Amino acid sequence: MSQLSQTTKTGGARLRLRLAPSAEMAVRSGHPWVYAERIREISREGISGEIAIVYDRKDRFMAFGLFDPDSPIRLRILHSGPPIVADEAWWQARMTSAVEKRRPWFQQGTDGYRLVNGESDGWPALILDRYGSTLVLKLYSAVWLPRMADLQRWIVSAVTAERIVLRLSRNVQDVFERAGHRDGQNLVGTETSEGVIFKEDGLRFWSDVVKGQKTGFFLDQRENRRRIGKLSVGAEVLNAFSFSGGFSLHAARGGAVAVTDLDCSPHALEAARRNFQLNRDDSTLASARHQSVQADAFDWLENGPGQFDVVICDPPSLARREHERAGAIDAYRRLATSSVGKVRSGGLLLTASCSAHVLAEEFHAAVAEGLRRTGRRYEELEQVGHALDHPTTFDEARYLKAVYLRMLD
């Protein structure tokens, strides 16, 4: 049967699209998003989550994706290239391939990592994270709503897990709720209101998978946490925007003599204390002095007392929308100035940005300008991005950037 005459499960004719030339080119080169205004022709009104087939100007099959009438990203590409059919085996293989790819990367000491990283793993607007035997499925679009049962089946057959928790981004919570789902719901296994414990390089961490930010932990910073562990021997460390103390525990285990968490959230600081408690049997870690400062970090970095050998500055996203971009760049510049003011001569600064709307060049230029204004000499050691389990196949997915700097005076 040709693609043209295929019908959907509901018996209607397949949804067919044609795109503007620039969008056609982008899709051919692997870009996973088609914005509404780039759709030149549509065969009928589409339903959220249905498969739409893209034909090129010569009426040849080009790609297919999930139709998303509720988002400016109107089509989320699943496949581009020769015609194939998205049957059960195809979906299943796609899930298994994302999961299997990670298997050799994580040893026994680390059981918290990303299994599926959205479109870069072929699963638009979908994240699957593993925390020990708990999986967290986070959905960012209603396109998955008609496939909730399928998703569960594909996940369960690709990964062994005791529990799957569903997390929903704010923009889709209402539509999922109307269909009987809620943020934090348990899809498989017993409920956990307590969160779960997992391991990162042998350190034990608690993750609030039901209510916490993202899926409960910032898995994307793992490589940087490891590095900070190695760079903190004998150091006094300041962890600004510390959240649940991820960097702090690695620093303490790496031999830091003192670690200070700085966050405005009492819950975050409490979570960090809890994580230190969880690892009290580790004597190196337990011998580091651990203190917490509850304050606005922008203010404290400028006006707070003291200096440190290692400073980590990992703020939340400062540009959630495009129009916030200029303000965010300015904030990164100011943060670079103030956080370097907290670094002793010879010390180290790790400063990061997770704002998708701020490009890497813009962030690095802002940091350089912020440091220039201090008049201090420094060397840039390295610019880094995402951890391996967070692959990025297109520009918009590359939100995380960070740089290691050493102060020379």
- Interacting residues with ligand SAH between 300 and 339 (CB under 6 A): 314-316
Options 6-14, 182-190, 191-199, 292-300: segment touching ligand SAH (CB under 6 A)? 292-300
> Measured from the CB of residue 9, what is the shortest distance to ligand SAH in angstroms?
42
As a dihedral over the C-alpha atoms of residue 92, residue 94, residue 96, residue 98, rounded to 10 degrees, the angle is -160
> Measured from the CB of residue 238, what is the shortest distance to ligand SAH in angstroms?
12
Instruction: Tell me the residue ranges of DSSP E strands in 151-223.
Output: 163-168, 186-188, 196-200, 203-207
Distances (CA, A) of 295 to 193, 212, 225, 240: 28, 20, 22, 10
Binding residue (CB under 6 A) for ligand SAH from 59, 162, 296, 396: 296
As a whole number of angstroms, the distance between CA 170 and CA 167 comes to 9
> Measured from the CB of residue 264, what is the shortest distance to ligand SAH in angstroms?
4
Q: How many CA atoms lie within 13 A of 133 on its CB side?
A: 8
Q: Does residue 239 contact residue 260 with C-beta atoms inside 8 Å?
A: yes
Binding residue (CB under 6 A) for ligand SAH from 39, 161, 272, 297: 297
> Measured from the CB of residue 251, what is the shortest distance to ligand SAH in angstroms?
11
Choose between 120 and 338: whose C-beta lies nearer to ligand SAH: 338
Choose between 177 and 296: whose C-beta lies nearer to ligand SAH: 296
As a whole number of angstroms, the distance between CA 361 and CA 344 comes to 27
How many residues form the binding site for ligand SAH (CB under 6 A)?
17
Q: Which phi and psi angles does 114 have, rounded to 5°?
A: -85, 130
The residue whose two tokens read 């204390």 is 273
Helices and strands (H and E) in the chain: how many: 11, 20
Choose between 19 and 297: whose C-beta lies nearer to ligand SAH: 297
Choose between 64 and 332: whose C-beta lies nearer to ligand SAH: 332
CA 29 from chain center: how many Å?
Answer: 24
Choose between 74 and 225: whose C-beta lies nearer to ligand SAH: 225
Options 120-128, 133-141, 196-204, 296-304: segment touching ligand SAH (CB under 6 A)? 296-304
Q: Does residue 262 contact residue 293 with C-beta atoms inside 8 Å?
A: yes
- Interacting residues with ligand SAH between 54 and 83 (CB under 6 A): none
- Interacting residues with ligand SAH between 170 and 209 (CB under 6 A): none
**Cα angle 151, 154, 157; round to 5:** 145
Report CA torsion sign: 103, 106, 107, 112: negative
Q: Does 399 bind ligand SAH (CB under 6 A)?
A: no
> Measured from the CB of residue 172, what is the shortest distance to ligand SAH in angstroms?
22
Choose between 150 and 296: whose C-beta lies nearer to ligand SAH: 296
Q: Which amino acid is at 15?
A: L
Task: Sketch the per residue contact string, 335 through 374, with ligand SAH: x for CB under 6 A, - otherwise.
Answer: ----------------------------------------
**Cα angle 311, 379, 387; round to 5:** 60
- Interacting residues with ligand SAH between 204 and 263 (CB under 6 A): 218, 221, 241, 243-244, 246-247, 263
Q: Which amino acid is at 235?
A: A
Judged by the rule CB under 6 A, the positions of this chain that interact with ligand SAH are 218, 221, 241, 243-244, 246-247, 263-265, 268, 296-298, 314-316
